[in-house]
Amino acid sequence: MKHTQPNRFPLRATALTAVLLPLFLTACGGGSGSSADPAPTGPQNIAIEFAAKAGNVPVQCGSKIAGLGTGNIGAELRDLRFYVSNVALINDKGEAVPLTLQANDWQSKEVALVDLEDATGTCAEAGTAGMNKQIVGTVPAGTYKGVQMTIGVPSSVNHSDFAVAAKPLDIQAMAWSWQAGRKFAKIEINPDGGVARPAPAAAGKSFFVHIGSTGCTGNPVTGETVSCARPDRMDFKFDSFDATKQKVVLDIAQLFKGSDVSKDEGGAVGCMSGATDPECPAIFNALKIDLASGQSVSQGAGQAVFRAEAK
- Is 19 part of any domain? no
In a domain, 107, yes or no: yes
Provide the domain limits for residue 57: 50-310
Q: Is residue 136 part of a domain?
A: yes
Measured CA to CA, the distance from residue 305 to residue 249 in angstroms comes to 8
* Cα(310)–Cα(217) distance, integer angstroms: 43
Q: What's the rounded Cα separation, in Å, for the pair 165 and 192?
A: 37
Give the Cα separation of 41 and 139 in Å (integer): 11
Residue 26 covered by a domain: no
The CA-atom distances, in angstroms, between 3 and each of 9, 11, 12, 124 are: 18, 20, 22, 95
The answer to whether residue 35 is domain-embedded is no
The identity of residue 66, as a single letter, is A
Reported in sequence order, the residue ranges of 175-258 that DSSP labels E, i.e. its strands, are 175-176, 181-182, 185-191, 207-211, 214-217, 227-230, 234-238, 246-251
Distance of CA 180 to the CA centre of its chain: 23
11 within a domain of the structure (yes/no): no
Is residue 20 assigned to a domain?
no
186 and 212 Cβ atoms separated by less than 8 Å? no
Enumerate long-range contacts of 56-63, CB under 8 Å, 24 or more apart: 59/116, 59/252, 60/116, 60/118, 61/117, 61/118, 61/119, 61/120, 61/121, 61/122, 61/123, 61/124, 61/127, 62/120, 62/121, 62/122, 62/123, 63/121
Question: What pLDDT was estimated at residue 2?
Answer: 42
Structural domains of the chain, count: 1
pLDDT of residue 23: 34
- Stretches where the chain sits below pLDDT 50 are 1-37
